[in-house]
Amino acid sequence: MPTAHDLHAPDGPAGAGHAATASRPRGGGRRTIALAFGAAAAAALLAAGAAFAATDTVTSGPLKASFTAGSHHPNCKQHWPVRISATFHGKPAHATAVYQFLYNGSVVHTENPFEGTKKNRGNHIWHFVGSFTDKDFGPFGSLSVGNKLTIRAVVKEGGYTASPSYWVQVVSTGGCPAE
């Protein structure tokens, strides 16, 4: 059975991002700019839909929390973006969140969102309003490969707790982070 540390390697490589820059096209005027931005917005929506394909939503009284991710089969060596959202009485919740990792139904590790990053240097329970996207989630450890795990987001607001969860079976592509 994998240990808690084996399931998630927080010190993996950071995802490389590229900033897109926009410049005004020559001779196109406002119509060209509007069409370009419209096409870019449509492409972004399609990409977002592909990036976050499945969601689990749990309700506890007036608290409704969701855990959304793109795949049940994340790659062991890459970041796996997740989105946590919550409403309280139908409005964006002022909530807290922690992650729990379960193996065979037992919690084997608890971790705060953005643990080990500049966003959460003190490693505190994460406070948020409405939702957050954790692009720093992962990579998974090498001993998690092939094991069916459950990742649960424990969301709390106003005395209520909702814990949406998401099962994963980590796949190896070679070069998984060593434990």
Give me the pLDDT at residue 53, please: 65
Q: Token pair 């820059």 is at which residue?
A: 21
For each of the chain's 179 residues, which pLDDT tens digit applies?
A: 454 444 444 333 333 333 333 333 334 333 333 333 333 333 333 334 344 568 999 999 999 999 999 888 888 888 889 999 999 999 999 999 999 999 999 999 999 999 888 999 889 999 999 999 999 888 777 778 888 999 999 999 999 999 999 999 988 877 777 66
First to last CA, the chain: 14
Provide the percentage of residues in the chain whose pLDDT is more than 90: 46
53-169 homologous superfamily:
Macroglobulin (MG2) domain (2.60.40.1930)
> What is the rounded CA–CA span in Å between residue 81 and residue 109?
19
Name the residue ranges covered by the structural domains of the chain: 53-169
Q: Where are the beta strands (DSSP E) in 14-116?
A: 54-60, 63-69, 82-88, 91-92, 94-103, 106-111
